[in-house]
Structure 1
């Protein structure tokens, strides 16, 4: 995401106007934790472009009949999904690096992914130790 969109630049009256809401609604959403503007110079709220987008999303969900608690829960889940997507990206890079190292060593593509998300290299024919919930993935060498 562009860091400029995260910069807190709008005072509450401007953010409310941009989101087509009353400033008191923004204060309520802040108290409920639906949006968390930055604070500058004491208690003055400053909203970013991302905050305004979020306010518009909250407004649309509310118009669609979703309660404020439902909106809060949706936002929590969306944040969890974003975190999981980020973790999948990290693990994909790690798997690619392991795969490249194994191929360079002539070992084929063998690794194990444990239930905690850790990736462990295995030699061909080796199995994870113990009764783990690990998933083992391999691709046989071409003949």
Structure 2
């Protein structure tokens, strides 16, 4: 079994799997929608992640009627949202760790807002 990001599929195999012409894949690459890896002999190699991304592109163009410029915008927005969701998950984890910690680390100050005008500030001694 191959890793999700491992480039193992030739363009002809991907075209056959997705029932599209290899030129479609080349056009997606020219439009910078996909970026397959290359072998030492410059042969395009696609990973399962690439195939899933192409499936998304095909769904957007075929089922939703989005043009390639729109697909590019959607893919960039999706990438931004994915990064933000990852960052939010990391921050939530850090917050949970801080809440479960019985003390405040010496290099940090804990500030809790009780109301508009009151704060509790722990200072390092």
TM range (shorter): 0.7 to 0.9
Query: In the alignment, which residue of structure 2 is the partner of 1:51?
Result: 50
Paired residues for 1:95-134 under 5 Å: 95-101=95-101, 104-105=102-103, 121-122=110-111, 125-126=120-121
Q: How many residues matched?
A: 111
In the alignment, the residues of structure 2 paired with residue 79 and residue 11 of structure 1 have an alpha-carbon distance, to the nearest angstrom, of 25
Higher strand share: 1
Correspondence 1:25 to 2:24:
yes
Query: In the alignment, which residue of structure 2 is the partner of 1:73?
Result: 73
Instruction: Sort the Cα spacing of 1:16 and 1:120 in 2 relative to 1 into closer, same or farther, 3 A.
Output: farther
Q: CA deviation at 1:25?
A: 0.8
In the alignment, the residues of structure 1 paired with residue 77 and residue 27 of structure 2 have an alpha-carbon distance, to the nearest angstrom, of 21
What is the SS of the residue equivalent to 1:5? coil
User: Are the aligned partners of 2:7 and 2:37 in contact in 1 as well (CA < 8 Å)?
Assistant: yes
Give the TM-score taking structure 2 as reference length.
0.79
Q: CA RMSD in A?
A: 2.2
User: Any runs of at least 4 consecutive aligned residues in structure 1 with deviations exceeding 3 A, and if so which?
Assistant: none
Structure 2: 5+ residue stretches without partners? 113-118
What is the SS of the residue equivalent to 1:46? strand
Give the TM-score taking structure 1 as reference length.
0.70
Q: CA deviation at 1:89?
A: 1.0
